């Protein structure tokens, strides 16, 4: 699946279900003049291998397919019009992460940074909050779950 207008909501819901996609939000901060300042957000999408995949190693073909599927979801949730905020989708880092929040399952991660388009050192503003909120709403629309995969949602 590639990111395009042809990526239907139903196809994306199937991706979310197959890979049990979850998300978490973290502050994006910088160190300035002896203190930390939050300048945006990092929205992380997590997915794990589908049932039946024998787990292999970080960066394996199954991980690459999983990253590609998560990236399609990430691209779909981004706001489409130009705003004072900008969004950066991180590259595939060929790593697996194990979090107690998701029962230590082997997760592939896609990171989306939400920052100011200009003057990136400015504190978080209403545009970044709005963008984050909209992205979370779109994730919920697809059936993705915050922090951990609890159950199958009926769509």
* CA–CA distances in Å: residue 139 to residues 12, 35, 111, 123, 133: 10, 33, 14, 25, 10
Q: Tens digit of pLDDT for each residue in 12-24?
A: 999 999 999 999 9
Is the distance from CB of 94 to CB of 63 less than 8 angstroms? yes
Q: Phi and psi dihedrals of 18, rounded to 5?
A: -60, -40
pTM of the model: 0.89
* R_g of the chain computed on alpha carbons: 16
Q: Phi and psi dihedrals of 47, rounded to 5?
A: -140, 155
What is the pLDDT at residue 25?
98
What is the pLDDT at residue 152?
58
Q: Residue 11, Cβ neighbours under 10 Å: how many? A: 14
CA atoms within 13 A on the CB side of 28: 23
Please give the chain's pLDDT, 155 residues, in tens: 544 444 699 999 999 999 999 999 999 998 888 888 899 999 999 999 988 887 668 888 999 999 999 999 999 999 999 999 999 999 999 999 999 999 999 999 999 999 988 887 788 999 999 999 999 999 999 999 999 998 654 54
Contacts for 48-56: CB closer than 8 Å, 24+ residues apart: 48/19, 48/20, 48/102, 48/105, 48/106, 48/107, 48/108, 49/19, 49/106, 50/18, 50/19, 55/106
């Amino acid at each position: 699946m590639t990111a395009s207008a042809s990526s239907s909501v139903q196809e994306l819901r199937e991706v979310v279900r197959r890979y049990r996609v979850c998300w978490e939000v973290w502050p994006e901060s910088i160190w300035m003049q002896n203190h930390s300042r939050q300048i945006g957000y990092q929205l992380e999408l997590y997915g794990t291998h589908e049932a039946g995949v024998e787990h292999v190693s970080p960066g394996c073909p199954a991980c690459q397919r999983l990253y590609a599927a998560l990236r399609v979801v990430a691209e779909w949730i981004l706001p489409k019009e130009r705003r004072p905020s900008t969004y950066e989708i991180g590259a595939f880092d060929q790593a697996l992460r194990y979090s107690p929040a998701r029962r230590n399952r082997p997760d592939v991660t896609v990171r989306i940074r939400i920052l100011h388009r200009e003057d990136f050192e400015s504190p978080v503003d209403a545009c970044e909050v709005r963008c984050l909120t909209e992205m979370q709403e779109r994730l919920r629309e697809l059936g993705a779950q915050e922090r951990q995969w609890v159950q199958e949602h009926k769509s």
